[in-house]
Structure 1
Amino acid sequence: MVSLLQRMRKLQTKLLSIRLGPGAAVLPKEVSRIHMRFAPKIDGGHMGPKKFWRHELVRLKFHNPAIPMTLDRTAPQTDPALMTIFFADPEASPTSGATPTTSTSGDKEPSNYAPSSRTETIDMTGRLPENILADLMNLTNARQIEATKEELDTLRSLEEQRIRSERDSKLSLEVREKKKREEALLAQARGDMASAV
């Protein structure tokens, strides 16, 4: 069974990886929605968008919970992978008091904010996640989140603990292997003694 300290360390590492890293950025108020459309399989240049969705988009959503980020993975493999960024007038207010709908399928549209004043599209086909993120950051003028001193200290201590844990694991494995060899030699010696009698 995994100890409580190991589980807490793993959870803390996961939480920090969501709060920091590529995609940890605050989008400006003008961005009203982000919609991604790509194929379910990675063939035909759809691997980069899928990786972007799995890693960078999670951080973007964490830092921008009010911005709906929809996803449509029903595009044919031959279609281009596209990201559409909807910009609203910063002075416009939502049309109702409800929260916008966020959907992972293409059948629902966010409903309660003012219509977009403009849209921008990024062709993600055959591109790496870091290139897609760079285009998104440049297009929206998003502000990158920098790690605080406490977070950097926590990351450093977690890395030190991970290295120490790997070293201890190797030492423990060596001790177990040595013990198995000794037991095998003892069993072989007992077998030789029994056959001699």
Structure 2
Amino acid sequence: MTSTEITQEERTELEKALYDALNPLASAIRSRESGLPEARMWAADPVDVTLSVLAAWKVVDAEVKRLTAVAAATAGSYGASYEQMGAVWGITRQGARKKWPDAVTRPATAEAPTGATLKLFGGVAELVQDPSSGGWTWAAEGADKTRGGAEEDIWYATKEEAAAHAGAFLREHAADLS
């Protein structure tokens, strides 16, 4: 795996993007707390303004942690190990297992897989391989209880392709992404 260190230019661009995303959130929080219009946020008492910014960063921090857990679960669903996730995150295998306890599931048997379960966004998809053609299909139930699957007679060349379609369905039918 390549290094995840970023250049100063990349850091500057990231900071700009984060501030661009944060400012509307901080303004909305400040407006709700003060009853003032969002446009007047920066004219308020500096302590109140900076506390609104801090509150917005707390919201962003919680969302980053949630999305990180989703990314770990996705990596695990594609076969990444805790050792690999730990290496990427800069922690041990045990640390990764503790941080994302449900990200990696162990196969029930040692036989060659003919199916797989994908758990994302609160829903579940079953991926099934056709023994004769080797193609893959999927059926899923989203977190909102909507059921769906690959169209009849559609077989994907790889498990990953079927999983991508199933994952898109589960994302579309997540209970709450906000």
Richer in helix (by share): 2
Q: Which has the higher contact order (CA 8 A, sep 6+)?
A: 1
> Which TM-score band (shorter chain)?
under 0.3
Output the TM-score relative to the length of structure 2.
0.26
Output the TM-score relative to the length of structure 1.
0.24
